[in-house]
Amino acid sequence: MITVQAIPVLSDNYAWLLRDSSGAVAIVDPGEAAPVAAVLDAAGGRLDVILLTHHHGDHIAGAEELRARYGAKMVGAAADAHRLPKLDLSVAEGDRVAVGTSSAHVLETPGHTRGHIAYVFDAEHVLLCGDTMFALGCGRLLEGTAAEMFASLRKFAALPPGTMVYCGHEYTESNARFALHATPDNAALQAYAARVRGLRARGEATVPSTLADELAANPFLRAADVATLADLRARKDKF
């Protein structure tokens, strides 16, 4: 069993705090140390594992400070070890990462960056997908190709639909505007976008979402082929 708690960091990032029923604690993508340390210290000052999805500063900038303070183990992509904080565990597709008695498997999900990875806690139906997929969106193709992003999104689409999707940013409201522009006739999207507007009007988080909702409404996840995804991504970049 794992519980997941959002820790908002920087302007619109989420660091995700994971607590296993055995008491183990992990943090995903600590882009800032202080807000994470404040939560950890209030809960007993334990941090066992730091899980990194990719090398961008808004996902790793707090990692070294948290490792030094709590003695946590740093986990990240072997492919990007040269530009991540020094890793205690370098992982690749299919590897498993333990957090107490829970464990995740690693998906290699290039597209946003070359070495981007995602973590899937299978038993808990938890997906931590960094900047590869967002609620109603996907990451910009900063290093990878549309074909790579398409293959990465297919890996997410193959997970159980009840999977909870924990992405790296609160981008949902602007993603919803583009999604409605790109696929205006999707009734599932219209309902999802209305929920998002309500949540944001109340200042509430829109993340996590469910994979079922993304499969029904996210135009990037729904793109039938690489060319469609490439076209959507190019239009979103200019939107």
Interacting residues with Zn ion (CB under 5 A): 56, 131
Residue at token pair 């808004």: 58
Residue 82: active-site member: no
Q: Lay out the site mask for Fe ion across 45-74 (x = CB under 5 A, - = otherwise).
A: -------------x----------------
Burial classification of residue 31, based on how many CB atoms lie within 10 Å of its CB (0-12 exposed, 13-18 middle, 19 or more buried): buried
Q: Which is nearer to Zn ion, 12 or 225 (CB)?
A: 12
Question: Active-site residue 112, yes or no?
Answer: yes
Please, which residue, 131 or 148, has the CB nearer to Zn ion?
131
* Catalytic residue check, 131: yes
Q: Is 170 in the site for Fe ion (CB under 5 A)?
A: no
- Is residue 131 involved in binding Fe ion (CB under 5 A)? yes
Per the CB < 8 A criterion, the answer to whether 148 and 111 are in contact is: yes
Write down the least CB distance from residue 120 to Fe ion, Å.
Answer: 19
Question: Which SS3 state, helix, strand or coil, does residue 46 take?
Answer: coil
Is 54 among the residues known to form the active site?
Answer: yes
Which of 93-101, 124-132, 197-205, 223-231 is the region at the interface with Fe ion (rule: CB under 5 A)?
124-132
Helices (H), the chain: 34-42, 57-60, 63-70, 146-157, 172-182, 187-201, 211-217, 219-222, 226-238
CB of 16 vs Fe ion, minimal distance in Å: 13
Q: Which residue has the tokens 């070495």?
A: 115
141: tokens are 């193709």
Annotated catalytic residue: which of 29, 80, 131, 213?
131
Active site residue 56: yes
In the structure encoding, which two tokens stand for residue 23, read together?
Answer: 């008491």
To the query of whether residue 58 is one of the catalytic residues in this protein, the response is yes
Size of interface with Fe ion, in residues (CB under 5 A): 3
Q: Which is nearer to Zn ion, 84 or 189 (CB)?
A: 84
Among the listed residues 55, 59, 116, 213, the single catalytic one is: 59
Measured over the CA atoms of residue 230, residue 213, residue 207 and residue 75, the dihedral's sign is negative
169 is catalytic: yes
Instruction: Quote the crossing angle between the two packed helices 187-201 and 172-182, to the nearest 10°.
Output: 150
Task: Specify the residue for token string 């398409």.
Answer: 150
By beta-carbon proximity to Zn ion, the closer residue of 19 and 155 is 155
Under the criterion CB under 5 A, does residue 80 sit at the interface with Fe ion?
no
Interface with Fe ion by CB under 5 A: which range of 18-26, 96-104, 166-174, 231-239? Answer: 166-174
- How wide is the angle at C-alpha 22 spanned by C-alphas 1 and 207, nearest 5°? 40
Instruction: Report the residue number, 168 or 219, with the smaller CB distance to Fe ion.
Output: 168
Active-site residues, by number, are 54, 56, 58-59, 112, 131, 169
